A = this chain, B = another copy of it.
Amino acid sequence: MYVAHVSEVPESNVTPDPLPPGKRATVRWVIAEEHGAPNFEMRVFHLDEGLTSEWHRHPWEHEEYVLTGHGTLRGETGETELEPGTVVLIAGGEMHQLRASRGEALEFICVVPRGTKEKAASPAR
């Protein structure tokens, strides 16, 4: 059994690109291979207001749960509003991007199959 608090888990930047001063876009691998996760891994993302994840896709699915804040999910067929308690399944191969609304940070859980950490996603073309 492994128990931790999200605040204790180291966070890393979502993107290597520079962000506006004082802004944060981070991911914490809260339940990962290194903790013994045998099949899937749980991450917690934080996007400061107005920030987005990349418009991208990859072969594996996402299962997401919005913890705090509001935002927008951009998919191949349009946009959907996000609020606390929104759940999302993004299939493998689907283009997607999340955006935090102005005025508040967006935090969400995102579960992926084990072993994707070192694999690069395909950005938009």
Residues of A bordering B, CB below 8 Å? 1-7, 9, 30-31, 35-40, 42, 44, 61, 63, 65, 67, 73, 75-77, 80, 83, 85-92, 94, 96, 109, 111, 113
Contact = CB atoms under 8 A, between A and B. Distances in A.
A1 B90 contact: yes
Contact of A87 (B4, B63, B83, B85): B4
Given A37-B61, A39-B40, A5 B89 contact: no
Given A31-B87, A36-B91, 4 more contacts: A39-B61, A40-B40, A42-B87, A109-B109
B87 A61 contact: no
A110 B87 CA distance: 13
Nearest to A35: B89
A113 B111 CA distance: 12
A85 to B, nearest CB: 4
Contact of A111 (B36, B40, B90): B40
A109 to B, nearest CB: 6
Nearest to A6: B85
B96 A1 contact: yes
A40 to B, nearest CB: 5
Contacts of A44: 65
